[in-house]
Amino acid sequence: MDAQLPEESARILVVDDEKVIREILSDFLTMEGFVVRAVEDGAAALKELQRRTYNLVISDLKMPNLGGLELLQKISEMNLNVVCIIMTGFGTVETAIEAMKRGAYDYILKPFKVEEVVHVVQRALERQRLQQENMRLKEALSLFKVSEAIAGSLSVDVILDLILEATIQEMDADVAQLVLEDPVSGKLAERSVKFSPRLAGESVETALNLDEILTQYRADQPLLAHGIKAHRYFSRAPAEHRLTSFCSIPLKVRDKVAGMLNAYSYTRGVKFSEGQRKMLAILAGRAAVSIENARLYESLLGANRDLTRVNTSLEENFRQTIVGFARALEESDRYTRGHSERVSFYAQLIAEGLHLTEGEIQTVVQAGLMHDIGKIGIRYEKLNKPGKLTPEEMAMFRTHPAKGKRILEPIPFMKDLVPGAYCHHENWDGSGYPQGLAGSEIPALGRLMAIADTYDAMTSDRAYRKALQHEVACGELERCAGSQFDASLVDIFLRQIEEFRRTQLAAGHEIIR
């Protein structure tokens, strides 16, 4: 049954020594679309939690072998990211308080109505989802801060230490390791390693099978493995500690593997997720260019040359890292894939039609690439559906301009891009958001981005409709000029896009829309 349900279905573990309770809850929760397993006591629950990942546990209070309160304590000690609900037929105020103290989300009295249980489960999962989204946003902001710190340093040793510390923190890893190419021999060798406080003073096995790892890199396959499946990437199996999870990311410089950033977990229950692997990939990309630039800096410093080239390179590589992050976010949703690149191009057409300077045009291009960076905290599967959004879903969607502003504003050389991210949903007549600005109160970059963004949204497939034809989309822009859009900019865009399409047709290129 698990394979037939969508990947995002929450996993629920029901723990009760009464078979009839287990069956009733399993049946009803499965009908609600959850993936459900049931076990008879706390001891069996612990074994199941070590085998699989669950979002929520519903446990009886009194059971043989291991009761509900003891199970809560064990889950807390194992640091499992799971929501717990306690149920009992012998409830008192004291037991309810004790359950809450030990980490329970809620307390249900038997006999219960199944509909009430389902309601409690939904509330618990919604709270967990909001907490996870908040964590993802904090992780992203933390990553940007680390990247900025790395960009501010031109010492190889300082950069390596920052990268390893960030890997330990963001991955909750026990060991972070950097393997770099030796400039003289050209061979890969461990350059630096850092241990988490959990393994302070202990030795662990990190003898890598470099040939196997490089083969995986050449196949362009993500390297994330758990337990015994990770042993193939080592020349000998870890002996001192049992390996729980292993993640390895190539450090590439000009498409050549110049090293690798590795994360190890030896803690039971701490498995790296695919989302964490992607975060590490972003950090690894930052590491590669920063290490290369730091080495270049040291070389130039020794020769007493001008360092402007290095600083420019650092800034540009940091910019490319963040743009790559924005693109990675879009890749998770087939409806928005390539959206930012297209918006950037359409915005550039308007900028060129305004006869802006080359520097101003580049600011517009970068703003287009980053205009939706605030969607890092938005769940696309909730929004990409047929029909209208609910008020709650609309409110969630409307948070992304403010989130984009918070991400970009702390980065000194990206402050000029903030109006594109913050104001591209403002309307000329004041009916937009998040500030309700009107007319010339809206920054020019926001007015320009609104047209480019809307045109691409109309001419792209969405879950709720097929892409509109170019002529229809242009008609909508004309209709909304002066109310939703700056009419003068609409005129420029329509003139520029038609000229572009004529040029493409004259050159023999097919116009898709």
Place of tokens 């605030």: 374
- Asked whether the predicted pLDDT for residue 76 surpasses 90, the reply is no
| pLDDT value of residue 322 | 55
| pLDDT value of residue 471 | 94
In a domain, 144, yes or no: no
Q: How confident is the model at residue 88 (pLDDT cuts 50, 70, 90)?
A: confident
Hey, what amino acid is at 196?
Answer: S
- Asked whether the predicted pLDDT for residue 157 surpasses 60, the reply is yes
Phi and psi, residue 77, nearest 5°:
-65, -35
Q: Which residue from 28, 62, 20, 67 is spatially nearest to 46, judged by alpha carbons?
A: 67
In a domain, 143, yes or no: no
Q: What average pLDDT does this structure show over 344-351?
A: 95
Same domain for 200 and 121, yes or no, is no
Identify which has the larger pLDDT, 131 or 334. 131
Q: How confident is the model at residue 338 (pLDDT cuts 50, 70, 90)?
A: confident
| pLDDT value of residue 479 | 96
Same domain for 383 and 463, yes or no, is yes
In a domain, 135, yes or no: no
Distance CA 92, CA 423 (A): 53
Q: How confident is the model at residue 2 (pLDDT cuts 50, 70, 90)?
A: very low
Number of domains making up the chain = 3
Same domain for 53 and 73, yes or no, is yes
Determine which of 278-282, 427-431, 508-512 has the lowest per-residue pLDDT on average.
508-512
| pLDDT value of residue 293 | 65
| pLDDT value of residue 324 | 55
| pLDDT value of residue 57 | 93
Identify which has the larger pLDDT, 351 or 281. 351
Alpha helices in 354-486 (DSSP H): 358-370, 380-383, 391-397, 400-408, 418-422, 444-458, 470-480
Quote the domain boundaries for residue 345: 332-506
For 28-48, what is each residue's pLDDT tens digit? 999 888 999 999 999 999 999
Same domain for 492 and 406, yes or no, is yes
Same domain for 158 and 65, yes or no, is no
Identify which has the larger pLDDT, 429 or 206. 429
- Asked whether the predicted pLDDT for residue 17 surpasses 50, the reply is yes
- Under 8 Å between Cβ of 149 and 142: no
Distance CA 10, CA 1 (A): 13
Neighbours of 471 (CB within 10 A): 8
For 233-247, what is each residue's pLDDT tens digit? 988 766 667 888 999
| pLDDT value of residue 41 | 92
Mean pLDDT of the chain: 80
From 275, 290, 324, give the residue that closes a domain: 324
Same domain for 265 and 387, yes or no, is no
Considering 105-109, 227-231, 372-376, the range whose residues carry the highest mean pLDDT is 227-231
Same domain for 350 and 458, yes or no, is yes
| pLDDT value of residue 339 | 85
| CATH number of the domain encompassing residue 101 | 3.40.50.2300
In a domain, 235, yes or no: yes
Distance CA 65, CA 63 (A): 7
Determine which of 191-195, 227-231, 289-293, 341-345 has the lowest per-residue pLDDT on average.
289-293
Identify which has the larger pLDDT, 322 or 116. 116
| Rounded (5°) CA angle 465-466-472 | 105
Identify which has the larger pLDDT, 360 or 89. 360
Same domain for 355 and 470, yes or no, is yes
Pairing of strands 245-253, 223-226: antiparallel
Q: How confident is the model at residue 379 (pLDDT cuts 50, 70, 90)?
A: low
Q: How confident is the model at residue 171 (pLDDT cuts 50, 70, 90)?
A: confident
In a domain, 138, yes or no: no
- Asked whether the predicted pLDDT for residue 507 surpasses 50, the reply is yes
Considering 114-128, 144-158, 481-495, 497-511, the range whose residues carry the highest mean pLDDT is 481-495
Determine which of 168-177, 197-206, 341-350 has the lowest per-residue pLDDT on average.
197-206
Distance CA 162, CA 169 (A): 11
| CATH number of the domain encompassing residue 435 | 1.10.3210.10
Determine which of 89-98, 101-110, 380-389 has the lowest per-residue pLDDT on average.
380-389
Q: What average pLDDT does this structure show over 487-492?
A: 97
In a domain, 142, yes or no: no
Same domain for 13 and 110, yes or no, is yes
From 324, 347, 362, give the residue that closes a domain: 324
| pLDDT value of residue 301 | 45
Ranges of beta strands (E only) in 51-102 are 56-60, 83-88
Q: How confident is the model at residue 424 (pLDDT cuts 50, 70, 90)?
A: very high
From 324, 350, 370, give the residue that closes a domain: 324
- Asked whether the predicted pLDDT for residue 303 surpasses 60, the reply is no
In a domain, 12, yes or no: yes
| pLDDT value of residue 401 | 92
Q: How confident is the model at residue 3 (pLDDT cuts 50, 70, 90)?
A: very low
In a domain, 511, yes or no: no
Distance CA 82, CA 57 (A): 7
Please report which helix (H) or strand (E) contains residue 37, including its range.
strand 35-39
Same domain for 184 and 290, yes or no, is yes
Determine which of 75-79, 223-227, 235-239 has the lowest per-residue pLDDT on average.
235-239
- Asked whether the predicted pLDDT for residue 352 surpasses 80, the reply is yes
Same domain for 291 and 349, yes or no, is no
Same domain for 312 and 342, yes or no, is no
- Under 8 Å between Cβ of 360 and 366: no
| CATH number of the domain encompassing residue 306 | 3.30.450.40
| pLDDT value of residue 308 | 46
